[in-house]
Amino acid sequence: MTTIAYRDGYVAADSASWKGDVLMGYVNKIHEVSEGVVFVGCGVLHEVRSMVESYESRTPFPELKDATVVQFNPNKRIMEYGSEGYAFLCDHKTYMAWGSGSQLALGAMAAGATAEEAVKAAVKHDAFTAGKVKVVKVW
């Protein structure tokens, strides 16, 4: 349960970590790895971390059952991984969002919000988006 927003070269995410309906604490959901690659994920935390670790160790990506992981590459390609495998999303889009607050974030960005502002809107209005918002420039 997360909100991730991308707009104009920036990705933003909340920091809440949930177990069911219980807020367990706060974590970093944006992972900057080598070669300018950025991973961000929503869903089961250990599945997201396994993807990042696999990339860093150059081992095959694990199967995802309950997570969505988005990979931002320096060539401006966005890859989305989930339970159905992976999909090449685009070379570049104006804005995109994932997670429980994605519809709120998309609406905010349609009205002109930045990625950070969109996630902050979801923090206010989505029951499962909370905590500090981290923003990273992906390109």
What is the model's pLDDT at position 22?
A: 94
**6 vs 89, residue with greater confidence:** 6
- On whether the CB atoms of residues 120 and 111 are closer than 8 A, the answer is no
Question: What confidence tens digit (pLDDT) does each residue in 60-115 have?
Answer: 999 999 999 999 999 988 999 998 888 877 655 689 999 999 999 999 999 999 99
Among 7, 8, 40, 44, residue whose Cα is nearest residue 24: 44
Q: Indicate the class that CATH gives domain 3-137.
A: alpha beta
Token readout for 19 is: 């177990």
Among 58, 31, 61, residue whose Cα is nearest residue 47: 61
Q: What is the mean pLDDT of the chain?
A: 94
The per-residue DSSP string of 18-63 comes to: EETTEEEEE---EEE-GGG-EEEEEE-HHHHHHHHHHHHHT-PPPP
Global pTM reads 0.93
